[in-house]
Amino acid sequence: MRFAIFGNTFQAKKSCHAETLFGILKERNAEVYVCRDFYTFLTADLGMEIPVAGLFDGDDFSADMVISVGGDGTFLKAASRVGKKDIPILGINTGRLGFLADISPEEMEATFEEIYSDHYKVEERSVLQLLSSDRRLQSSPYALNEIAILKRDSSSMITIRTAINGAYLTTYQADGLIIATPTGSTAYSLSVGGPIIVPHSNTIAITPVAPHSLNVRPIVIRDDWEITLDVESRSHNFLVAIDGRSETCKESNQLTIRKADYNIKVVKRFDHIFFDTLRTKMMWGVDGRR
């Protein structure tokens, strides 16, 4: 098999897991290609000797499977590079929670045994696309987790007029608004009171950030509906964060958010169940009185 590997370049103390991964792949005579930044980090900065078939930059690669070594942030970066290539992504978790990157280092040996035995599942996750006249936003307009509209300064709120399929929904007075996929429902959206959504529910969550009204609550809509946003700000600009990649935007730019025309494929072990992940990683439903 041919693998393309991305990795976190900020966690030197966890580099032993990467070394273990390369050892496993070498034993199976895998054809390994590594993102140049990650390779430089492992070899030049950490002094590892990594046998690879080649290096690549950006999205200039092809593979049977992509491996992300790090946390969910690293996985999101890998997903943005994969884009429409239709290559499944396996996430090795060396971070903290790890909803996307949910294979622990201790599971790597068993996981690749299952992969080479063709005993694994691939989940398709929906992606959001941002449409705007701002060229900077169009350079990388796709989000696996969320698109967030946020105030740029720390003083005043922003006003976000929101329409669904052209029909007026409401005008949010808030610090921001998060448009999240089911995959992103356990990320930023959850931290500001958004709902947890099962990954394959074909929905989008709209969650305000610190709204200036007790009557405003998160709402969940179909993912084939289109969201239009008109933003006003005292500073006449605001931030748009696409899976954490932020750009300043002028209030004259109307934003349209819709489901992208492709999905991201996530490799999962058969015994990894979403509800188990909620309970074990988020302590969901745990009664602390016991």
Q: Got the DSSP string for 130-174?
A: EE-S-HHHHTS-EESSEEEEE-SSSS--EEEEEEETTEEEEEEEE
The answer to whether 255 and 161 are in contact (CB under 8 A) is no
Neighbours of 7 (CB within 10 A): 27
Mean pLDDT score across all residues of the chain? 92
Considering only 98-102, 149-153, 160-164, which range has the smallest mean pLDDT? Answer: 98-102
Does the reported pTM lie above 0.85? yes
Which pLDDT band holds residue 13 (cuts at 50, 70, 90)?
low
Domain positions in the chain are: 2-120+269-282, 127-261
Return the pLDDT at 17.
87
Assigned CATH for 127-261:
2.60.200.30
What b/e string do you get for 170-189 counting C-beta neighbours within 10 Å, with b at 16 or more?
A: bebbbbbbbbbbbbbbbbbb
Residue in 64, 72, 102, 224 annotated catalytic: 72
Rounded distance between C-alpha atoms, residue 83 and residue 74, angstroms? 14
Question: If you average pLDDT over residues 212-240, what whole number do you get?
Answer: 94
Return the pLDDT at 290.
65
Which pLDDT band holds residue 48 (cuts at 50, 70, 90)?
confident
CA angle 203, 205, 210 (to 5 degrees): 180
Which pLDDT band holds residue 287 (cuts at 50, 70, 90)?
confident
Whether the pLDDT of residue 16 is over 80: the answer is no
Assigned CATH for 2-120+269-282:
3.40.50.10330
Is residue 37 flagged as an active site residue? no
| Share of residues in the chain with pLDDT > 90 (%) | 73
Return the pLDDT at 275.
86
Which runs of consecutive H residues, i.e. helices, occur in the chain?
Answer: 15-27, 36-40, 72-82, 108-116, 135-138, 188-191, 274-282
Rounded distance between C-alpha atoms, residue 81 and residue 43, angstroms? 22
> 274, 269, 264: which is closest to 124 by C-alpha?
264
Residue count of the chain = 290
Q: Is 185 helix (H, G, I), strand (E, B) or coil?
A: helix
Question: If you average pLDDT over residues 18-25, what whole number do you get?
Answer: 92
> 82, 83, 51: which is closest to 67 by C-alpha?
82
Rounded distance between C-alpha atoms, residue 224 and residue 204, angstroms? 9
